[in-house]
Amino acid sequence: MRFQRSLGAASLSGVLLAAFSISALAQASKHALTPDDWDHWRSISSPVISNDGRWVAYSLVPQVGDGELVVRATSGSTEYHVLRGFIGRPQMVAGSRDTTNAATPAVITADGKFALALTYAPMSEYDRARREKRRPADQPKASLAIVSLANGQVTSIPKVRSFRAARESGSWVAYLLEPSDSVNANRAARDSSNRARGLQGNAATPGGSPRPVSDSAGGRGRRPEFGSTLVLRNLATGVERRINDVTTYAFDDSAKWLGYTVSSRDNAKDGAYVVAPANGNDIALLSGRGAYKQFAFDRAGSQAAFVSDRDEVNKDHPRFTLYYANLKSPSAQVAVTSAAVGEELGVSDNGRVSFTRRGNAILFGVAPAPLDSIPADSLYDKAVFDLWSWKDPRLQPQQKLEANRDRVRSFETIYNIATKKFVRLANDSMPTVSVSDDGRVALAASAERYAIERMWGDEGDDVYLIDATTGSRKLIHEKISGSAQLSPDAKYVLLFDNGHWFSYAVATGKTVDLTAPVKNVSFAQETWDTPSTPAPWGVAGFTKGDKSVILYDRYDLWEIDPSGVQPARNVTNSVGRQEHIVFRLAEGGR
């Protein structure tokens, strides 16, 4: 039996039996709680389990302060602890809904030999940097911790911006270093020069938000952001290879290829490249002056895609193109140009590029063309005002907080590799979509019609099914109170509404209440403590072929036939509820 998630797959060996003993809590020494106690109260964050089920990694995160990584064997008493530094960071942005005191997950390599995680300086270092008003380049930087699970030895690599490990290979890790001091100095000098010229975020739109500016009054194109050093490390031997001026990078699942993009002061080196880690041979998919972004492989490691403005780099306002490469004969070809998308929209450099799970289509973003640049002597920013209407679906303070996000928003579009046709799936009314593994069907859950009602808590989503080959849309359910997701094989849409799970059969249009027959069990959170509709406990995933779906109640897992024919089965035999043990599917190390 195999679980399939809407965005991937996990085997039953990935089921982590996380036991939370109520009696253990009662045994703790009792004293009056204070706000200081709350700040130091640690919780388990971002658990992962190795592919072989032998290791579990998680972070202990306080509400405010320094945390640690714990890597623990699932049998025996072996346990390793690594200080992660200041990961318990309070939410300090007014109006933001995102929490910041959750640690980024560690990674356990596919072979179960290493655990990898970013670590940070202690909270005291960040406090000192703030008091000293250090510039961003001089703030504390993250490090990469590589933990050998054979003996617990930790290798720490300083000044690491990000890292990647392949999903199905434990041989390699790639990590991107922070820019060198010379690059930081050049950026600081450039920013200082811009501020002196009045070009650093001082131009405002009627909403009070910064507006894009050109490099100079008569300058061409956007200002380049140069890359930094990418390091490819063999985890077994520790041997490393360095690649200069890298901006983005990715492994294919098997680590047969490492793909990366370069932005260099030597324009001739700009480009999108792949390298075979096993032999170190670099291949240029496309090169030449320009910006190259959003590199992606398919799961098989046989195809790659990215976006670049190379062909329009000499224009006043260069637009991006989606490129595709078959790695059997590595050379990137034009897939979709901005001109093909239209005058008002173009290929976005901010939209995430990815392949469908089966590799037959590419997902990318399209976005409105950037606003014209503002000459250095413009008087546009001399009068700054806020313009708001009572019909706006978002209050003005929220509009300000979300202005940067709105500015880089893109709409998901699909490109069919065989037919060489593209279809725009998302739009202003349906800004977010999910796509089936084969790229035939997409699902959109849109709250746009209820945006104003949402201000006083009357929320809801309209659910649409989209033919991804034509773009045609069908409304299948109005104003559900919960979530909607597409099954991996696109046979069903799973809906949560008013405490019940429903399935919608894509082929027949039949809707079935899946959880009504399950008596005396709540699939909504009975511990919900706010005056709003309770959320569901969640979904573990679908089994192979969409034959069944695994749902959570407060403690246990239930296997349910999405067609509604077979009776529900309690997978964990009610042990969770009887023993107060919470059973959940834990993601693998990748």
Contact 104, 141 (CB under 8 A): no
Q: Would you state the pLDDT for residue 487?
A: 94
- Judged against a pLDDT cut of 90, whether residue 354 lies above it is answered with yes
Nearest to 156 by CA among 112, 116, 103: 116
Mean pLDDT along residues 396-413: 79
Q: Would you state the pLDDT for residue 387?
A: 77
Of 63 and 554, which is predicted with more confidence? 554
Of 408 and 139, which is predicted with more confidence? 139
According to DSSP, residue 204 is labeled B
Instruction: Please give the Cα distance from 331 to 283 (Å, whole number).
Output: 9
Contact 5, 487 (CB under 8 A): no
Q: Would you state the pLDDT for residue 495?
A: 95
Of 445 and 93, which is predicted with more confidence? 445
Instruction: Please give the Cα distance from 47 to 144 (Å, whole number).
Output: 18
Which positions ≥6 away from 138 have C-beta within 8 Å?
129
pLDDT tens per residue across span 208-217:
333 333 333 3
Q: Would you state the pLDDT for residue 100?
A: 53
Dmax over CA atoms of the chain, in Å, equals 73
Instruction: Please give the Cα distance from 464 to 444 (Å, whole number).
Output: 5
Question: What does the block give as tokens for 220?
Answer: 């061409």
Q: Would you state the pLDDT for residue 94?
A: 55
Mean pLDDT along residues 84-98: 70
Instruction: Please give the Cα distance from 484 to 486 (Å, whole number).
Output: 7
- Judged against a pLDDT cut of 70, whether residue 475 lies above it is answered with yes
Neighbour-count burial of 121, counting CB atoms closer than 10 A to its CB (0-12 exposed, 13-18 middle, 19+ buried): middle
Q: Which of 34-38, 335-339, 382-386, 553-557 has the lowest mean pLDDT?
A: 382-386
Mean model confidence pLDDT for the chain: 83
Mean pLDDT along residues 44-55: 91
Q: Would you state the pLDDT for residue 22?
A: 37
Nearest to 51 by CA among 11, 23, 79: 11
Q: Would you state the pLDDT for residue 23?
A: 41
Token look-up 């890359």 returns: 227
Percent of the chain with pLDDT over 70: 82
According to DSSP, residue 42 is labeled E
Which positions ≥6 away from 49 have C-beta within 8 Å?
13, 14, 16, 55, 56, 57, 74, 108, 586, 587, 588, 589
Question: What does the block give as tokens for 574?
Answer: 């009610």
- Indicate left, alpha or beta for 373 from its phi (over 0: left) and psi (-120 to 50: alpha): beta
pLDDT tens per residue across span 257-313:
999 999 999 888 999 999 999 888 889 999 999 999 999 999 999 999 999 999 988
Q: Would you state the pLDDT for residue 181?
A: 57
- Judged against a pLDDT cut of 90, whether residue 316 lies above it is answered with no
Contact 551, 558 (CB under 8 A): yes
- Judged against a pLDDT cut of 60, whether residue 482 lies above it is answered with yes
Question: What does the block give as tokens for 170?
Answer: 């434990």
Of 12-16, 180-184, 352-356, which has the strongest mean pLDDT?
A: 352-356
Q: Would you state the pLDDT for residue 176?
A: 96
Which positions ≥6 away from 169 have C-beta within 8 Å?
109, 110, 111, 251, 253, 254, 255
